[in-house]
Amino acid sequence: MIPFDYHAPKTLQKAMRLVREHGDDASVLAGGHSLIPLMKLRFAAPAVVIDLGGIGGLKKVTAGHETITIGALATHYAVESHRLLPGKCRLLPETASEIGDVQVRNRGTVGGSIAHADPAADWPAAMLALNAQFDIAGPSGERAVAASDFFVGLFTTALQAGEVLTRIRIATPPENSGGAYVKMRQSASGFALAGVAAQVALDSAGNCASVAVGVTGVASVAYRAHAVEDALRGRGLDAIAEAAAHAADGVEEFQEDHHASADYRAHLARVFAQRALTRAFERAT
pLDDT on residue 187: 83
CATH for 56-171 is 3.30.465.10
CA distances from 65 to 98, 135, 226 (A): 25, 20, 28
Query: For position 1, what pLDDT does the model report?
Result: 63
Residue 148: pLDDT band (50, 70, 90) is very high
- Long-range CB pairs of 249-256, under 8 A, 24+ apart, other chains included: 249/225, 250/223, 250/226, 251/218, 251/219, 251/223, 252/219, 253/219, 253/220, 254/218, 254/219, 255/119, 255/120, 255/217, 255/218, 255/219, 255/220
Residue 153 burial (10 A CB sphere; 0-12, 13-18, 19+)? exposed
Nearest-5° Cα angle at 192, 187 to 198: 135
**How far are the Cα atoms of 121, 248, 253, 269 from residue 90, in angstroms, in the given order?**
18, 25, 31, 21
- Give the chain's end-to-end CA distance (angstroms, integer): 56
**pLDDT single digits (tens) 5-46:** 898 989 888 888 888 888 888 888 887 777 888 787 787 888
Distance in angstroms (rounded) separating the CA atoms of residues 120 and 256: 12
- Higher confidence at residue 2 or residue 118? 118
Reply yes or no on whether the pLDDT at 98 is more than 70: yes
Query: Alpha-carbon distance 119 to 91, whole Å?
Result: 19
CATH class assigned to 177-284: alpha beta
Contact in structure between 25 and 47 (CB atoms under 8 Å): yes
Whole-angstrom distance, CA of residue 197 vs CA of residue 247? 11
The CATH class of 5-51 is alpha beta
Tell me what the mean pLDDT of segment 67-80 comes to. Answer: 97
User: What is the Cα–Cα distance from 92 to 77, expressed in whole angstroms?
Assistant: 11
C-alpha closest to that of 111 among 168, 191, 190, 51: 168
- Determine the average pLDDT of the residues in 263-272: 98
Mean pLDDT of 186-214: 95
Cβ count near 275 (within 10 Å): 16
Q: For 207-264, how does the pLDDT look when each residue is reduced to its tens digit (9 = 90+)?
A: 999 999 999 999 999 999 999 999 999 999 999 999 999 999 999 999 999 999 999 9
Task: Give the pLDDT confidence of 149-168 residue by residue, as tens digits.
Answer: 999 999 999 999 889 999 99
Q: Over pLDDT 70: what percentage of the chain?
A: 100
Beta strands 67-71 and 164-171 are antiparallel
Q: Where are the domains of the chain?
A: 5-51, 56-171, 177-284
Give dist(CA 192, CA 154) in Å, integer. Answer: 15
Cβ atoms of 122 and 110 closer than 8 Å: no
